[in-house]
Amino acid sequence: MNNKHMTLGEFIIDNQKHFKYSSGELSRLINSIRLAAKVVNHEIRKAGLVDITGAAGDINAQGEAQQKLDVLANDLFKQTLINREIVCGIASEEEDDFVIVEGKNKTNDNKYVLLMDPLDGSSNIDVNVSVGTIFSIYRRISPEGTPVTKEDFLQKGSEQVAAGYVVYGTSTMLVFTTGKGVNGFTLNPAIGTFYLSHPNMTYPEIGKIYSVSEGYFTHFQEGMKRYLVYCKELNKKDNRPYTARYIGSLVSDFHRNMIKGGIYIYPATEITPNGKLRLLYECNPMAFICEQAGGKATDGFTRIMDIKPTELHQRVPFFCGSKQMVEKAEEFMSEYSLDEKPKYQ
């Protein structure tokens, strides 16, 4: 079958044998994510026509103002997964604690837990900028048939079974990995089907884009400051200066950089010494995808997926993208900011 005509459902069936645990449950879980993503996409497309934009009036677990679409997307993904009884537990950036999913008999024999950022970059909805959903899947470590525990969610990123994101932009794409490369599927809105449009996605060998919020420059660590100066310097040897591109939506910035080649950075600052992005809901899944696409993801010093989580909403600095660019940033961090290496509690 021509790749361009392969649906997501057909792809999952054809690649079932490559999944880390080939039981069919993981396939059904990804299909559930596909369904929820289509519903969220439908709601986003109505933004501006109905009252779903703006602040919801609540504060999430990170002390941030929730947007109406944050709440809506969280509920849609959560209910889709719960109703299908496809996971034994869910953790969300929008929830204070993890959610135990019970089966009909008040037990749950399902093998997987899902962690998610249901609507990354939601503050951009009001100005019609692309947003996304990020998800991460782990095999539970608690005994099957018992309620999930916090330890099921506090696993290193290296233990992920699958991870992906949905970008709701000019077209809607679902990009994911199960540890055998990265593939992207574009939604045909006319018939509601995702088709394989970007097989075997990889970072270009040479990246030219750097993505960081430079408004915080004076609060950056010294190594970060010097790396940004390096990015701007004219050097004929490697054709610098690089191009600055920053949307403020992790999914959108990451997606562009993976296709065109570049580095995304949300570093530590004097204001946020452990960074701002969440390890479990944002950094681990993106790091998994990044590495599977030939890139690299670190906190400036340590591989992201080697960090042992200690809390559900733990934050870390985040450097990810084209391998050579990340390694160059690490050189500056190691030389000038080693005494400021993150100390995770």
At 56, the pLDDT band (50, 70, 90 cuts) reads very low
Q: Give span(s): CATH 3.30.540.10, the chain.
A: 3-198
- pLDDT on residue 67: 65
Judged by average pLDDT, the poorest of 4-18, 58-72, 241-255, 290-304 is 58-72
209-336 maps to CATH 3.40.50.620: no
| Higher per-residue pLDDT: 345 or 254 | 254
Using an 8 Å Cβ cutoff, are 116 and 60 in contact? no
Name residue 224's amino acid. Answer: M
Q: Which residues are annotated as a binding site?
A: 93, 117, 119-123, 246, 276, 282
Question: pLDDT of 146-159, one tens digit each?
Answer: 899 999 999 999 99
Q: Span 181-199, mean pLDDT?
A: 95
- Report residue 206 CA to chain centroid gap: 23
Question: pLDDT of 67-119, one tens digit each?
Answer: 678 888 999 999 999 988 889 999 999 999 999 998 766 667 889 999 999 99
Q: Give span(s): CATH 3.40.190.80, the chain.
A: 209-336
Q: Which residues are annotated as a binding site for Mg(2+)?
A: 93, 117, 119-120, 282
In degrees and rounded to multiples of 5, residue 224 shows phi and psi of -65, -45
Is 311's pLDDT higher than 80?
yes
Residue 105, classified by CB atoms within 10 Å of its CB into exposed (0-12), middle (13-18) or buried (19+), is exposed
- Beta partners for residue 185, in sequence order: 174, 196
CA distance 329 to 327: 5
Q: Which residues are annotated as a binding site for substrate?
A: 120-123, 246, 276
3-198 maps to CATH 1.20.1630.10: no
Does the pTM surpass 0.85? The reply is yes
Highest mean pLDDT among 35-44, 46-55, 128-137, 195-204: 195-204
Q: What does the DSSP assignment read for 283-309? A: IHHHHHHHHHTT-EEESSSSBGGG---
Q: Span 291-317, mean pLDDT?
A: 97
- pLDDT on residue 52: 45
Q: Span 124-147, mean pLDDT?
A: 88
Three-class SS state of 169:
coil
Question: pLDDT of 251-302, one tens digit each?
Answer: 999 999 999 999 999 999 999 999 999 999 999 999 999 999 999 999 999 9
Q: Which of 318, 339, 340 is nearest to 329 (CA)?
A: 318
Using an 8 Å Cβ cutoff, are 128 and 343 in contact? no
